[in-house]
Amino acid sequence: MGKFFSYNNAAFTLLGRLIEVASGTIYNTAMQNLLLGPLGLTQTVLDRREVLQRSYSDGHYAGPINGKDSVAVQSPLWVPRSADPAGGIWSTRRNVMRYARIHLAADTRGGTGGIVSAQSLRQMQNPAKPVPGLNMSIGRNWFVQDVGGVRGFMHDGDTVGQHTVFLAIPQRQFAFVLFVNNLFSGPAVELEVLDAALASYPGLAELAGKIGFTRSVVAPPDAPTVTLSEAEEADYAGRYQDPGLVMTFVGSYERLEATVEHLDQKNSLGDGAIGPSPPPPTSIAFLGKDMAVSQGTRVPFVRDDAGHVGWVENGFRLVPHTAAS
């Protein structure tokens, strides 16, 4: 336990329940009383009734529907209340930027007036565990990147039909916030807009194309690949599965071919949401040992203590290797 990092929304949900027990009230009320209210984040809410009383953005799905490329308002729009600690906040760019200033001030003004200590803010921004195969670490619970002697902390987020981007660089007093109400085009928009913001900000132009949550998983288009032997290829082949996903890798002419199947999960966060059709098999090339690339995205594999390939990383989550091919 604790050897590798793997993202897990269930852990946030459990933490939310612990906050309820400790505070003696529901999570939404605890957040309002202990954090959002004292920090002056008046446009940040969790209660659905409050959202409906304000202007808000519907999430959208863009992709095939009944065989035709379409754009539709996402349904359902809301996450279950039990999942609020993992993704139930509704906010504005201005409020998120106000929250960013609090973290940027960790070393300059002593924290947030007793609401969150400067020490806690700094601990959130320090690496705690590397993300397998990627130039990134997890903190508590920011993701952290060090590029060219500059540290950034960040966290993207996705719910049904919504994509958010957050990046802060304390050394330059820089913060970037982006909201996209189309989950499937969000990453591409993120790369373009974030790189433009970095390029235009004094002292950060050299980081454009090098830093960011999504940028960490994108392989350079000219990255050289290697050819695996049949025995090496067999290490990675097989079935990988978690409760919501099955990934299968099979050998195909000195390359692996991957198929992905999303499993229906009753009462899950995305249960009933509009989603894409199953993708066709994709070719997997290798950049080196335990590092593959598929459609321009890095696909790290992770080995267990015995040296066997035990997991493949998908969306910062480790999917267990459950059967050989």
Task: Please write the tens of the pLDDT for every residue from 38-71.
Answer: 999 999 999 989 999 999 999 988 877 777 888 8
Confidence of residue 109 (pLDDT cuts 50, 70, 90): low
CA distance 105 to 121: 9
pLDDT digits (tens, 9 = 90+) for 206-218: 999 999 999 999 9
> Residues of 263-299 as b/e, b for ≥16 C-beta within 10 angstroms?
eeeeebbbeebbeeeeeeeeebbbbeebbbbbeeebb
pTM for the complete prediction? 0.90
Which range scores top for mean pLDDT: 97-111, 112-126, 210-224, 241-255?
210-224
The percentage of the chain sitting over the pLDDT mark of 70, rounded to a whole number, equals: 91
Helix (H) or strand (E) holding 75: none
CA distance 300 to 130: 13
Question: Is 9-217's fold the same as 230-323's?
Answer: no
The CATH number given to 9-217 is 3.40.710.10
CA distance 200 to 178: 16
* Three-class SS state of 182: strand
CA distance 317 to 314: 5
pLDDT at 2 over 90: no
The CATH number given to 230-323 is 2.40.128
Sheet strands (E) in the chain: 60-65, 68-73, 129-130, 137-138, 143-147, 150-154, 157-159, 162-169, 174-180, 238-242, 245-252, 255-262, 282-288, 291-294, 297-303, 309-314, 317-323
Q: Could you tell me the residue ranges of all domains in the chain? A: 9-217, 230-323
Cβ neighbours around 177 below 10 Å, total: 19
pLDDT at 1 over 80: no
CA distance 176 to 197: 8
pLDDT digits (tens, 9 = 90+) for 25-38: 999 999 999 999 99
The percentage of the chain sitting over the pLDDT mark of 90, rounded to a whole number, equals: 63
Residue 325: predicted pLDDT: 65
Calculate mean pLDDT across residues 73-94: 89
| DSSP single-letter state for residue 101 | H
CA distance 239 to 246: 7
